[in-house]
């Protein structure tokens, strides 16, 4: 499974499932959205996760399961078991790693498919977990690189590619004019010759970055529809609760706003979670017109400033629930939901990245896609 295929499924409700295996991570990156650390042992119960993923059937399953963290490869055996269970039902699995296992530089050993480099092996348990997934993504940015040099990340990705696993890089910077991003993307192109796609995002003010990263300058016009495709894929949080939103502030908040609460892996199976995600009129409206428009049209309370704060504030608003039911209930609402997803996906993976990632680097989401213009950190200011 290539990165572009994974990203293209993002707007479709319940087409994917995000699982945070653990909040632990041996790295301490300054921009970590989850605030993860080596001793932050907050994670779902492994047996409950296996039971939940084991409830997938060939007729009722997500297309994609994304294993993330923290650092999911701190639990390689669990990652391997979950990937195997998902694959048995017909789902495909992707895993995102901070690459802690790659740091340390070249070690003595045999030469591989990249002459001139000494080979560094991947620990066996981690390699088994990587072999079990359909797509492997590595995080790399200025903060990760202070702890895991890019040469080590590149070396490990060569090894993973030799195993026949599709790979990609998740890159993060401050925007199109970031000279670091320009340098890094040129280095990736030189190293892999366009064969490793990249998903390029901008740092958001969540987790450790909340105190220094800038937020969006302006919010959406309340009168205009601004759909939220991030409410499409259910998210298993670190305490096992399942949410309809991947915004980190929402994932960490307790109690969960009622309209975003899809259940708990200790009590519910995938079929139940999927039904709640697909059949909720409020969630259908969030994915179709967005929380700002929904609040402006039906809301009875004050409207918080940010897009996501406004969404969280909709919980328990009976007028919003009634308005959503009138417009998006029943078969008509399901058709409206699907139409919004189809419209959002019309331009494919590149269009999705242009809207929700770093637009200047959207072509990189496709392996072997069109070359980017020369960007030196000044051209796109």
Backbone angles phi, psi at 113, to 5 degrees: -80, 0
Closest CA to 298 of 318, 280, 281, 323: 323
The pLDDT of residue 115: 42
The pLDDT of residue 107: 37
Three-state SS for the chain is CCHHHHHHCCCCCCCEEEEECCCECCCCCCCCCCCCECCCCCCCCHHHHHHHHHCCCCCCCCCEEEEECCCHHHCHHHHHHHHHHHHHHCCEEEEEECCHHHCCCCCCCCCCCCCCCCCCCCCHHHHHHHHHCCEEEEEEEHHHHCCCCHHHHHHHHHHHHHCCCEEEEEEEECCCCCHHHHHHHHHHHHHHCCCCCEEEEECCCCHHHHHCCCCCCCCCCCCCCCCCHHHCCCEECCCCEEECCCCHHHHHCCCCCHHHEEEECCCCCHHHHHHHHHHCHHHHHHHHCCHHHHHHHHCCCCCCCCHHHHHHCCCCCHHHHHHHHHHHCHHHHHHHHHHHHHHHCCCHHHHHHHHHCCHHHHHHHCCCCCCCCCCCCCCCC
Backbone angles phi, psi at 265, to 5 degrees: -65, -20
Higher pLDDT pick, 76 / 121: 76
pLDDT at 218 over 60: no
**What mean pLDDT do residues 358-370 have?**
86
The pLDDT of residue 215: 56
Please give the share of the chain, as a percent, with pLDDT higher than 70: 85
The pLDDT of residue 121: 86
- Weakest-pLDDT range from 98-102, 184-188, 228-232, 362-366: 228-232
Name the token pair of 362.
């959207």
pLDDT at 326 over 80: yes
The pLDDT of residue 204: 65
The pLDDT of residue 376: 47
pLDDT at 356 over 50: yes
pLDDT at 97 over 90: yes
**What mean pLDDT do residues 337-352 have?**
89
Examine residue 41 and say whether the peptide bond preceding it is cis (omega within 30 degrees of 0).
Answer: no
Higher pLDDT pick, 211 / 215: 215
pLDDT at 32 over 90: no
pLDDT at 214 over 80: no
Question: Model confidence over 249-306: pLDDT tens digits?
Answer: 899 999 999 999 999 999 999 999 999 999 999 999 999 999 988 888 888 766 666 8
Dihedral class, residue 338 (left if φ above 0, else alpha if ψ from -120 to 50, else beta): alpha
Mean pLDDT of all residues in the chain?
Answer: 86
Of the pLDDT bands very low, low, confident and very high (cuts 50, 70, 90), residue 166 is: very high
Of the pLDDT bands very low, low, confident and very high (cuts 50, 70, 90), residue 236 is: very high
Higher pLDDT pick, 106 / 313: 313
Of the pLDDT bands very low, low, confident and very high (cuts 50, 70, 90), residue 370 is: low
Of the pLDDT bands very low, low, confident and very high (cuts 50, 70, 90), residue 379 is: very low
Name the token pair of 186.
């040129």
The domains of the chain are located at: 3-215+347-365, 229-344
Fold held by 3-215+347-365: TIM Barrel (3.20.20)
**What mean pLDDT do residues 165-189 have?**
94
């Amino acid at each position: 499974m290539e990165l572009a295929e994974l990203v293209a499924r993002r707007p479709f409700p319940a087409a994917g499932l995000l699982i945070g295996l653990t909040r632990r991570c041996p790295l301490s990156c300054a921009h970590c959205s989850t605030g993860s650390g080596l001793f932050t042992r907050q994670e779902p119960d492994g047996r409950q996760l296996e039971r939940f993923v084991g409830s997938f059937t060939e007729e009722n399953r997500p297309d994609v399961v994304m294993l993330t963290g923290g650092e999911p490869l701190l639990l390689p055996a669990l990652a391997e078991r979950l990937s195997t269970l998902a694959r048995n039902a017909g789902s495909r699995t992707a895993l995102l790693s901070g690459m802690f296992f790659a740091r340390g530089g070249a070690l003595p050993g045999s030469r591989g498919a990249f002459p001139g480099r000494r080979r560094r092996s991947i620990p066996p348990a981690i390699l088994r977990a990587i072999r079990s997934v359909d797509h492997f993504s590595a995080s790399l940015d200025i903060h990760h690189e202070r702890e895991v040099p890019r040469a080590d990340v590149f070396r490990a990705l060569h090894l993973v590619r030799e195993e026949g696993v599709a790979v990609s890089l998740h890159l993060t910077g401050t925007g199109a004019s970031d000279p670091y991003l320009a340098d890094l993307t040129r280095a990736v192109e030189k190293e892999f010759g366009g064969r490793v796609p990249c998903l390029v995002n901008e740092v958001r003010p969540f987790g450790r970055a909340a105190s220094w990263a800038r937020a969006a300058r302006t919010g959406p016009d309340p009168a205009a529809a601004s759909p939220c495709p991030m409410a499409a894929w259910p998210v298993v949080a670190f305490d096992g609760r399942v949410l309809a939103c991947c915004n980190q502030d929402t994932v960490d908040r307790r109690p969960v706003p009622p309209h975003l609460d899809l259940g708990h892996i200790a009590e519910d199976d995938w079929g139940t979670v999927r039904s709640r995600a697909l059949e909720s009129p409020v969630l259908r409206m969030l994915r179709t017109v967005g929380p700002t428009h929904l609040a402006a049209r039906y809301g009875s309370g004050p409207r918080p400033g940010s897009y996501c704060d406004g969404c969280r504030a909709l919980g328990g608003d009976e007028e919003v629930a009634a308005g959503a039911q009138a417009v998006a209930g029943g078969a008509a609402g399901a058709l409206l939901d699907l139409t919004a997803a189809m419209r959002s996906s019309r331009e494919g993976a590149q269009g999705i990245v242009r809207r929700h990632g770093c637009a200047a680097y959207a072509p990189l989401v496709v392996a072997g896609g069109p070359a980017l213009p020369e960007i030196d950190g000044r051209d796109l200011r």
